[in-house]
Amino acid sequence: METEADEDKRGGNYQEAIVKYSQLLQSTSKSKEEALRWLCARGECYLELSEWKKALEDGKNALDAARRSEDGTEADEGTNQRVVGACVLCGMACSQLEMFLEALDYFKDGLKKDPKNKQISGELKKLQNIIMKEQKEHAESQDCTYSAVSLCSQSIYPGDEQLINMEKEILAVKYKILDDEFYKGNNNHITKDAQLETQLVQAAYECLTMENLNDSLILISKAVAMDPSNVFYRTFRAQVYFNLKQWHKVIQDYWIIPKSMRKPDVWKQGGKALMELWLPVLAEFWFRKATQLTGGKDEEAAILFQKVRVKRLYDPLTEDQPVRVDFTQFGRAVFAKRDIAKGQTVMTDIPMVMAQSLGSRHIPACCNCAVSLITPKDYFGNKLLSMGKDQLDLIEEFWPSVAFEDCPHCHREKYCSKLCRIEAWDNYHRIICPSLNPAASQIYDICENKGYGYTSDGQWTEVWGGHYSPMILIKIWSIILSQVRDLMEKESVSAPTVEHWAKARAPFRRFIAYGTIPAIKRMPHMLPIFQSVFADCGSGLKYNINEEEFNGRYYQAACNLQCFSPSITPYHRFLDNIKEDIRAVGMLKYLSDRPPEAQFAAMCPLHACSNHSCFNNAEVCDLDIDGRPGIQMIARRDIKEGEEVFITYIDTAMPKLLRKAWLYKSFNFWCSCQRCQFEGEQPNECTNCHKKAPEGKNFSACGKCKKAWYCGVACQKDAWKKGHKVVCLTDHSQVTSPEGYDQL
């Protein structure tokens, strides 16, 4: 039948071929290698019939079959080629489904197996053309709809009401600044002399322009004494105090001005003074008023608000780290507090929420802390059958004991210890444990089936199409609900308050979200599933998962997640345990493979503040932090004090135009990093002066990096001096592009 199916496929009878391949796949006697072959063939038929989702499903299943067929042994050449074919199949299907990032990942996986594969090179070119065509209009205008300030809320944080009263008390006690009534008094007895006041103000202004601040202060103070309620005089003197950096005096003068008479500039400058006194909640209040009164048009006030908020949120997290977090026009950013040498740790970070990737769920790991739980069977596979007694004894003696602690209620989650099980229960699992919340079983089933599940009308399809596990979103909502429940119990109330919800959601407000295509459009079947999970969570609790909430949380995760794996596994501990045992010599031939890695995605508060550069000076690595997997950033080169720390969001081995298009599509900004400034786009255009080459001709490329083209020696030297030297010598010596990219 396989021969007939192959003939139908070659003859273009794709529907008939699909029927035959399906019959073959239903056979119980098929080998794993045959399943791989038939799945790829059927998937290619689906591609020809434009049934993209079915083609993608077959490609994914083929890759799963390939993984199972290897089972700890090295794959043969035929299997490798079919894996490449499955990668191409998945990539082509994803391209047609407009899942461009997924398509790129599949093509890259194929290139790892076969770097010279011409079909993948061709598909990468097509993918590049799709992306570039879609973004051409934006590329020409260099327009960007992304606004960091607009994505950041100025809403009041839970508990700020109490903090602002405390800061007012500091003003009253320390600086003798009280409420307005203290200053008003009865000024009827003061004799007015309009002419003298005018002369004093003019003289004060002249002194101010000549930077004779003390004289200006004396003169304007006399005018204030003559008319204490004059708003202009108070504002003038506050400006002089501001220039003298007498911050509390600035506030003292502004405080007397009735709120209804304070102009936006008064609120903004008062906020700056409060910022210098480090009364952050009051400073936020003043900057918020300045922003509101200008209808959001005063970008400086809006940025200053975020600077205060970022400092008070992140300074406690970076107290013992060599970096600080600040807010710039591009959003939150990480800066070095001191010089950081190449190879040193820039920062460490612990996940706030994490979940194992759908593709690595077969590799055992703790659901709560991500600790690897691999056993000798997981690592060695069939190699155990060929080992001698010494090697088996060595494994028995020195492979670390792996403890599995299941949830005793649902048995759907696995933990490394009782401590992690209890921690997970208190943190999130009590909300979604299927024993208490049967609807949550759907989510666990979808994860186990790699995103596939039944729709409300009973259709089996890919219901989850995100880059990460849906468990990330489930955990976010569950963590919030758990916090709300704790607050309710603490206050002995039967229903949650608005403040309870605000406090529980507050930690996740650190993460900015941005997306151009609503998540509901890509995954319409997920919303009703999420809604059913959180419709009744016990204790009268429920979470209203509407379209806005779904879209917001989806992109909050998509924009901030970092992939990581446990850096220390039982395999690594085993190697350390046997290093002084003579029997380890006979074990060496069985230790050639890397241990299977449980991939996790996590939202980490500090990491989420790091911006992108194609010329990144830091890179993210896995790290064991106090016995738990986490992440760290390592300096790729020396980082000076005050310099911003950059990581990369994408594969920077791609050509410049493709990099910029991917960044715009995924993150809605056009990269203007140092590398993008001095790397060329096309060989027929001078990278420095943008002169076009004659028809059919190209300019000479940089002899070192081959990534910039110049119309002559003068332009080459000019670009070298401006900054190409730094990028060329520092970065391109470290970047190796896959052959498929080089051909683009």
What pLDDT is attached to residue 744? 37
User: By three-state DSSP, how is residue 414 classified?
Assistant: strand
pLDDT band of 142, cuts 50, 70, 90? very low
Identify the pLDDT of residue 164.
93
The answer to whether the Cα torsion of 273, 276, 279, 285 is positive or negative is positive
The mean per-residue pLDDT over the stretch 631-649 comes to 95
Residue 398 structure tokens = 């020195």
Quick check: 611 and 323 in contact, CB under 8 A?
no
Does the pLDDT value for residue 78 go beyond 80? no
Contacts of 257 (CB under 8 A, 6+ apart): 231, 234, 235, 266
In this predicted model, what pLDDT tens digit does every residue of 517-547 receive, in sequence order?
788 888 999 999 999 999 999 878 999 999 9
Residue 412, C-beta contacts closer than 8 angstroms, at least 6 positions apart: 433, 434, 441, 444
Out of 57-71, 261-275, 315-329, pick the least confident: 57-71
Say yes or no to pLDDT of 720 above 60.
yes
Contacts of 334 (CB under 8 A, 6+ apart): 323, 324, 325, 346, 347, 606, 609, 610, 611, 644, 645
Rounded CA gap, 305 and 345, in Å?
30
Give the pTM: 0.80
Does an H or E element contain 323, and which? strand 323-328
- Per-residue pLDDT of 192-240, as tens digits, reads 788 999 999 999 999 999 999 999 999 999 999 999 989 999 999 999 9
Q: Is 638 in contact with 340 (CB distance < 8 Å)?
A: yes
How far apart (Å, rounded) are the C-alpha atoms in residues 532 and 463?
Answer: 15
DSSP state of 723: I
**pLDDT on residue 356:** 96
DSSP single-letter state for residue 681:
S
Answer yes or no: is pLDDT of 179 > 80. no
**How far apart are the C-alpha atoms of 607 and 349, rounded to whole Å?**
7
Q: Are 533 and 433 in contact (CB under 8 A)?
A: no
Q: How confident is the model at residue 625 (pLDDT cuts 50, 70, 90)?
A: confident
What is the pLDDT at residue 397? 94
| Per-residue model confidence as pLDDT tens digits over 87-140 | 999 999 998 887 887 888 888 889 888 888 888 888 887 887 777 666 555 544
| Per-residue pLDDT reduced to its tens digit, 723-737 | 898 888 775 444 444
Query: Is pLDDT at 65 greater than 50 in this prediction?
Result: yes
> What's the rounded mean pLDDT across residues 278-300?
95
pLDDT higher than 90, residue 607:
yes
407-430: string of b/e by CB count within 10 Å (b at 16+)? beebebbbbbeeebbeebbebbbb
DSSP string spanning 2-52? HHHHHHHHHTT-HHHHHHHHHHHHT-TT--HHHHHHHHHHHHHHHHHTT-H
Residue found under tokens 């420095």: 688
Burial (Cβ within 10 Å: 0-12, 13-18, ≥19) of residue 191: exposed
Cα torsion 727, 728, 730, 731: sign: positive
User: Ranked by mean pLDDT, which of 73-82, 171-180, 598-607 comes out on top?
Assistant: 598-607
Q: Is 609 helix (H, G, I), strand (E, B) or coil?
A: helix
- Of 488, 476, 604, the residue nearest 530 (C-alpha): 476
303-331 pLDDT per residue, tens: 999 999 999 999 999 999 999 999 998 88
Report the mean per-residue pLDDT for the chain: 88
Q: Which residues contact 693 (CB under 8 A, 6 or more apart)?
A: 683, 684, 685, 686, 699, 711
DSSP string, 192-216: P-HHHHHHHHHHHHHHHHTT-HHHH
Q: Which residues contact 699 (CB under 8 A, 6 or more apart)?
A: 683, 684, 685, 686, 693, 709, 710, 711
